[in-house]
Amino acid sequence: MSASRAAEFERAILGGDVVVFPSDTVYGLACDPESEAAVERLYELKGRAPEKAAAVMFFTQDAALEALPQLGERTRAALRALTPGGVTLLLPNPAGRFPLACRADPSTLGVRVVDVPVLRGVRLAVLQSSANPSGGADARTLAGVAPALRAGAGLLIDGGELPGVSSTVVDLRTYEADGRWQIVRQGLVESAAVAGSLGSDE
């Protein structure tokens, strides 16, 4: 079942659709990060301010590391230690990858790596944001996603009930140089768990 859903997800993304899908934290909206039309549609559906950045999500560590070869070894090790899981990593982006996600700050890329049972096998990167109207409550079930968002999506994928807490945002932009990191937003993963994975203090 997961293989067929993963294939359906990939077809929808490659076809330019916006998809409502389960992450490991809350329900999200996903689209092709390289398609200006799809990204614009996602932002319109959500009512997201055009200058606000979004994260790029990968469904395996290998896919993330392959897409971001410019990352240094220390940062790559941090990504391996912290993912997959309920964190968003703010990473340096000297190559300017995924500019439609970075928006006003092309030097910074937000990255998520998740393990979602129903979507195991997905090989694509997606631009993603939470499946709620901008400023609204996060959805922990598919039924909890706003009707307008469900109606506007090209595909809906049900992954059951999720934790319903957004990801913890960890700033690793200077980590390669000085080993320092900072939690920008506390979410599902506690700071102590981040510190344990990185082996250093915030």
Residue 199 confidence (pLDDT)? 78
Q: Quote the distance between the C-alpha of residue 144 and its chain's center.
A: 19
% of the chain residues with pLDDT over 90: 96
Residue 174 belongs to a domain: no
Residue 174 confidence (pLDDT)? 97
Residue 200 confidence (pLDDT)? 65
Residue 96 belongs to a domain: yes
Kindly report the CATH number assigned to the domain that includes residue 105: 3.90.870.10
User: What domain range includes position 51?
Assistant: 2-165
List pLDDT tens digits, range 110-140. Answer: 999 999 999 999 999 999 999 999 989 999 9
Q: How far apart are the first and last CA of the chain?
A: 41
pLDDT bracket for residue 1 (50, 70, 90): low
Residue 189 belongs to a domain: no
Residue 8 belongs to a domain: yes
Residue 171 belongs to a domain: no
Residue 150 belongs to a domain: yes
| Structural domain count, the chain | 1
Predicted confidence (pLDDT) at residue 2 exceeds the cutoff of 80: no
**CA 52 to CA 101: how far, in whole Å?**
9
Residue 158 belongs to a domain: yes
DSSP run (H or E) holding 198: helix 191-198
Q: Quote the distance between the C-alpha of residue 63 and its chain's center.
A: 13
